[in-house]
Structure 1
Amino acid sequence: MTDQAARVSADDRLDIHDVERRVKAIFIGSVGNLVEWYDFYAYTAFALYFAPAFFPNSDPVVQQLNAAVLFAATFLMRPLGGWLFGYIADHYGRRLSLTLSVVCMCFGSLIIAVTPTYASIGLAAPAILALARVIEGLSLGGEYGASATYLSEVADAKHRGFYSSFQYVTLIGGQLTAIIVLLLLQKVFLTPAELKAWGWRIPFVIGAMLAIFAAVMRRNLHET
């Protein structure tokens, strides 16, 4: 009876260790997904403030339409990103694919944060902005498929649906985070004039820093 109890206790420890490993992997994968979606939607949340800096036009509607065109263009890049990072995930591992995708998102956000305005460098400003959004579109397309695959693979057989659901939870979480950052800057920290002058760069700096944090965490991600 004592030997049986010892075996049960050992099995419990193994189960607990396995659960901890899976939860850690889910957390790291999900946090990276949240960061990517935050970076992606920070663009739309703050377009009202940065559009005049890149598209100098007397009509605010035209400025917003120009910004919206670049936002739409990123959706065209997402299928390509899904294919590219899916290939990397299958041939070189999920961890590498997920880490590269969040690094690319960091690079895209950082480009937007530091790009000079149209008044400083002319047409190069919207061109660089477009390049940054292309990179972000590729990144998000790669993240979406690779993270869904990873979450389902790291889950145990009885909880694949539950574990995989965190992809959509963090998707919405990223959008909400972008809105919260917008509200905090609008209502607490900056004036509308400050937001339009330079404050719109802050959310992209935050996004780049969060992406670096997620990339560092993903370096130790459990490989499936």
Structure 2
Amino acid sequence: MSKKIIAVNAGPRKGWNTDTLITEASKGAESSGATVEKFDLFRLEKYTGCISCFGCKKNQNKGHCVCRDGLTKVLDAIREADGLIIGSPNYLSEMTASFRALYERLVFQNLTYNSETPCCNQNPIPVLLIMTSNAPDTAYTGLLQNYQQILNRFVGPTETLVSGNTLQLKDYSKLDWPWSYFDPEAKKRRHETVFPQECKKAYEMGAALVMKNMS
């Protein structure tokens, strides 16, 4: 039976940086024999982050968020998966609100507040966390390390991939005023030379994600 990988795009833009890297990682997973199911968080029915109902702290609901909304099918799919690929652009020095909503509910459902067994996750799975950013690759090292640490504890062993200094628009000249914080031409050159290398890396990491689960 082939492995099942869940891919989650927590960015709004189809076909752009985050979505492209997730797609390449998914292709890599498929090259290792896995099947991939993808969710686009910005295209789901209405949902929220954790509502602090504590329903997941009851014995019969351990590891299961009891809030029923657009994220329920994503959480259910991840719970039964063999691996997770999830990506988000960086907005204002954080992941998107959509990413945070899923992250809160994915992690909190497995948190027991019990010092002997702090996590009740019955199916730890490898995770590939992808972040894209207009800022340089090294700008948010601490942020990524924090997410990696928490996902390691409550979801499964997590690897990260960061694509910084990304191209935001195809044609910056159409803006009403110049964006003088950076050089648009330099961003275009990076997108043409470095970003394809990052896509290749995403593909390789997606393939390795499946093999890690099999080891």
TM-score of Structure 1 vs Structure 2, range by shorter chain: under 0.3
Larger radius of gyration: 1
Q: Which has the higher contact order (CA 8 A, sep 6+)?
A: 1
More helix by share: 1
TM-score where L is the length of structure 1: 0.26
TM-score where L is the length of structure 2: 0.27
More strand by share: 2
